[in-house]
Structure 1
Amino acid sequence: MPVPSRPSGFRLGSGEAPVQVEVFVDLECPFSKKAWPTVLAVADHYEGDCVGITAHPIVLCDHRQSWDLTKATVAIAADNPLRAWQFMGHLYQHQTNYALDAFDHKTRQDLRQLIEDLTAKFDPA
């Protein structure tokens, strides 16, 4: 596997900004979901060259759906950090569909179908 050509995460703002904020979020974590609107508000408030904010999707050990959701985020984003942020926000809006309790008796194939459905509903506009 080649070494990535860019740092990990999805940055909004300048990488040269004097203030850099690194946010680590799990797409299945209810606390990450709760923090997300604040992270977005900070990103909106400091839009421009004074602050760079990088979101790093991570996978906590007890959130089995998060791994596939993170892979979907990377695929959807490609090289567009804003698209990643938009897709993560979209996923948080639908978190009750894939949170731990919702998937107690479902399979990985069920999760893949849900991700496909959520991706089809995603409109970054």
Structure 2
Amino acid sequence: MSNSTIPLTFLLILTYSAVLVPSQSIIPSRYDGFVYRKRAASTATVLIEAFYDPVCPDSRDSWPPLKQAVDHYGPSLVSLIVHTFPLPYHDNAFVTSRALHIVNELNASATYRLLNAFFEHQERFYNAQTLNMSREAVLDQVIGFASSALGNSMQSAIKSGFKDSKTGTKTRVSFKYGCSRGVYGTPFFFVNGFLIPVSDGTIDYDGWRKIIDPLTNKQQHYPLNVF
């Protein structure tokens, strides 16, 4: 081994160690995402995972048919988990995603109410709408919006949540988890762990029925064996 090879090998070892340690420390204490309607997500059901950006128009448009389909089947057949995936080219994606994580910690039953509110009034947080606002002003707007949507009694707790670094970490973990699954845009959908190809970012209600119906039929014909 030459003298020039030794430093290079040592450098590669250090680089590998630097990459390995953070990747281990990012593992969360529980599975990432927001479970729909506080229903226990189970592998005994058809498990749908959606990756959403709260200020992405395609995410907004894809949500109603997915929600309608999940409600149609019920918790005994279909489970849903939504993961936040804040896109870097949407200026307020991270702060709105973080608001969802904060609210989920405060009251998990309110998380989807806030997601619905963000989708319904999404234009308030578009890049152009907040272009001349400071970061602090945007944060105040998000806190005020979330408090108004869920009840002003939560305003103090939501504001405190933005001062807690753990909520920022949770939001980054969601993004990194999406990256680990090969997510690069929104919306992204997985059914029972497999990616559902979507050409235009949306699947209508009938489209979801075509995906889910055959899977629920298999559940009925081949129930999960319990040993």
TM-score, scaled relative to structure 2: 0.50
- In structure 2, the partner of 1:9 is 33
Moved more, 42-51 or 28-37: 42-51
Q: Does 1:26 align with 2:53?
A: yes
Give the secondary-structure state (helix, strand or coil) at the position aligned to 1:24. strand
Shift of 1:103: 1.5
The correspondence for 2:142, drawn from 111, 115, 122, is: 115
- Aligned letter for 2:76? D
Distance 1:28 1:75 in 2: 17
Larger strand proportion of the pair: 1
The correspondence for 2:82, drawn from 30, 33, 55, is: 55
Shift of 1:68: 0.7
- In structure 1, the partner of 2:68 is 41
Tell me the number of residue pairs that the alignment of Structure 1 and Structure 2 aligns: 124
Question: Quick one: structure 1 residues 97 and 86, their matched pair in 2 at CA, closer, same or farther if it must change by over 3 Å?
Answer: same
Q: Does 1:69 align with 2:93?
A: no
Larger radius of gyration: 2
**Is the CA contact (8 Å cut-off) linking 2:110 and 2:150 kept in structure 1?**
no
CA RMSD of aligned residues (A): 2.0
Give structure 2 stretches of 5+ with no counterpart.
1-24, 152-227
Give structure 1 stretches of 5+ with no counterpart.
none
**Is the CA contact (8 Å cut-off) linking 2:35 and 2:81 kept in structure 1?**
yes
Question: Quick one: structure 1 residues 81 and 40, their matched pair in 2 at CA, closer, same or farther if it must change by over 3 Å?
Answer: farther
- In structure 1, the partner of 2:194 is none
Distance 1:90 1:33 in 2: 10
Q: Does 1:104 align with 2:131?
A: yes
Distance 1:7 1:47 in 2: 22
Shift of 1:80: 4.7
Larger helix proportion of the pair: 2
**Is the CA contact (8 Å cut-off) linking 1:87 and 1:122 kept in structure 2?**
yes
Give the secondary-structure state (helix, strand or coil) at the position aligned to 2:29. coil
Shift of 1:39: 2.2
Percent same amino acid among aligned pairs? 22
**Is the CA contact (8 Å cut-off) linking 1:15 and 1:52 kept in structure 2?**
yes
Distance 2:148 2:28 in 1: 29
TM-score, scaled relative to structure 1: 0.87
